[in-house]
A and B are shown apart, each in its own frame.
Chain A
Amino acid sequence: QVQLQESGPGLVKPSQTLSLTCTVSGGSISSGDYYWSWIRQPPGKGLEWIGYIYYSGSTYYNPSLKSRVTISVDTSKNQFSLKLSSVTAADTAVYYCARGTVTAFDYWGQGTLVTVSS
Chain B
Amino acid sequence: EIVLTQSPGTLSLSPGERATLSCRASQSVSSSYLAWYQQKPGQAPRLLIYGASSRATGIPDRFSGSGSGTDFTLTISRLEPEDFAVYYCQQYGSAYTFGQGTKLEIK
Contacts and interface: CB of A to CB of B under 8 A. Distances in A.
A103 B95 contact: no
Contact of A47 (B50, B51, B57, B88): B88
A96 B44 contact: yes
Nearest to A37: B96
The B interface is mostly helix, strand or loop, or mixed, namely mixed
Interface residues of A, number: 21
A46 B98 contact: yes
B98 A47 contact: yes
Contact of A105 (B1, B32, B47, B100): B47
- Listed from nearest, the 6 A-B pairs whose CB atoms lie closest are A104-B35, A108-B44, A49-B96, A104-B50, A47-B98, A46-B100
Interface of B: 1, 32-33, 35, 37, 43-47, 50-51, 56-57, 88, 90, 92, 95-101
